[in-house]
Chain A
């Protein structure tokens, strides 16, 4: 079996739009959205990367372009190398991506999770529902604009809500992680407690 560098060079010959991606470990490639299914299919069938270990997304920040990147990690069970494939999601704050459940049925839950957490719509997915949050939850928690404390919402069961009037409230941030978020210099301004995302010593707990 040839080295992963040769395999990926052959891939780039077949798909000239594929570009190298900055990486600190495994070889990584940037693939345009319309080619990602073909490239992953090629890697699975012709380069021996037959194991989809992980599929996830990155929110690059509210003003970044592209806003979301979907990242695939493949492993080969024959030559035991990893490769990372990244795809910039078209659609800005309402991103879409092609589903790869036709290549790996195991991608089903991963795509549901990425949809749940980031709101990425995987086109061609057989059953794109929320997986970790409940059905009908209105937010996508891993987006950068979603606060760590959470956002007040109703409980999933409307009958319980009607009977008790309780709701999901934002978490208290006192005693929470006292660290600077990346890019923010001032510790006092950066820590979630100071941001007063929810009730703390300074703001009253909501009723």
Chain B
């Protein structure tokens, strides 16, 4: 026969029933700017009731360098290295987006080979960025080993980038009207070999998380962004598609020859952290699929816009041997690629979302105004709404799933 257990503080408990509701004191917590889960220098000024976030105010700008001001004071080509430092986890994709925006201003089409090189660059950058995002996210929610696998693969990608651009991290590879140099001998074969060995490893990496009980507990049903909210806040990229909006600029407004490749656009169902993770995982597979197609039918021909003499510099050998080319190069370096007056807006589907450039030109080699529409900036603007009434540990999970980068957010 069960005996009735009497809690020692039952009397106190009964007494408090009639007492007025107990009010806890709210606590103010500053998370960041140097907190490991804020991936850079984001600061969240939070108001906590116990462990529940009652108010969350992101404070940004710690990495503000005034890129837009700098752009107004230099030629179009001189700004390419600055684009590396926007989303510094996918510099190649930024380079390409910037070059395409300025080329749109000049109404310049680059040759097929250049387009294919750029597509390969973009997609490898996407894989690299998602691998880092995935590894860091797994650490945030308590799974260390994923990081080790993803960084092994990133290292292989960095070797390929180094071979192509001469730099591992800040690639500065594109020029207005082309790229810095043609692909090295045998590079496409090595890219292909990377893709082949990467797919089984990627499956293995994703298998560590996809049905992992701890990972699912930390992510499923957490940080749900509805379709309407995603659109209202201007969220783009995998975060938007995770909420079930199938908007992908590569499919919907193809650029750089993306219409010639077959790939699928994965979308999520519920818009939670887990869906965003799944979308990124599948996007890597689709990126590899695009790269394999691009490498398979890699076109020959020129790798820069040969006829655009006032925009793209001649090859070095010709500069040193021919007077006309020397003058052309001198004018390009001192006055910049010559652009018509007008306004263009171009955005590309970058790993983090739609990276847009709004270029206002008054003619000449320097933009009058260059606005950078940073996907991370827009994606973070939903945080006050998303973090409200969540636990502090869920905030860490939400931050990781949004996969932002502060270099781009603060510019």
Interface residues of A (CB under 8 A from B): 22-26, 28, 50-54, 56, 58-59, 71, 73, 77, 80, 82, 84, 104-106, 108-109, 113, 117, 130-134, 141-142, 146, 148, 177, 179-183, 187, 192
Contact = CB atoms under 8 A, between A and B. Distances in A.
B21 interface: no
A51 B231 contact: yes
A201 to B, nearest CB: 19
Nearest to B360: A58
A106 B335 contact: no
A80 B347 CA distance: 13
A132 B64 contact: yes
A196 B73 CA distance: 14
22 contacts: A24-B344, A28-B343, A51-B234, A53-B373, A58-B368, A77-B231, A80-B252, A80-B253, A84-B345, A105-B385, A106-B234, A109-B381, A130-B61, A142-B68, A148-B69, A179-B74, A180-B335, A181-B73, A182-B362, A182-B367, A183-B362, A192-B73
Nearest to A191: B73
Interface string B255-290: 000000000000000000000000000000000000
Contacts of B78: 177, 179
B61 A133 contact: yes
B268 to A, nearest CB: 16
What DSSP secondary structure best describes chain A's contact surface?
Answer: loop
Nearest to B371: A56
Given A80-B253, A133-B64, A179-B366, 8 more contacts: A22-B343, A24-B107, A51-B247, A73-B345, A106-B233, A181-B72, A182-B366, A182-B368
A184 to B, nearest CB: 10
A131 B60 contact: yes
A63 to B, nearest CB: 14
B75 interface: yes
B345 A82 contact: yes
Interface of B: 60-61, 64, 66, 68-70, 72-75, 78, 104-105, 107, 231-236, 245, 247, 252-253, 334-336, 340, 342-347, 354, 356, 358, 360, 362-369, 371, 373, 377-378, 380-382, 385, 410-411
A177 B234 contact: no
A131 B362 contact: no
A19 to B, nearest CB: 15
Contacts of B69: 141-142, 146, 148
What DSSP secondary structure best describes chain B's contact surface?
Answer: mixed
Contacts of A53: 234, 236, 347, 354, 356, 373
B70 A177 contact: yes
Among B66, B234, B385, max chain A CB count under 10 A is at B234
The 5 closest A-B pairs by CB, nearest first: A106-B234, A24-B342, A177-B74, A132-B61, A106-B233
A104 B380 CA distance: 15
A71 B343 CA distance: 11
A54 B68 CA distance: 15
A43 B74 CA distance: 36
B343 A54 contact: no
B373 to A, nearest CB: 4
Given A58-B369, A177-B78, A50 B231 contact: yes
A180 B366 contact: yes
Given A23-B343, A131-B61, A109 B104 contact: no
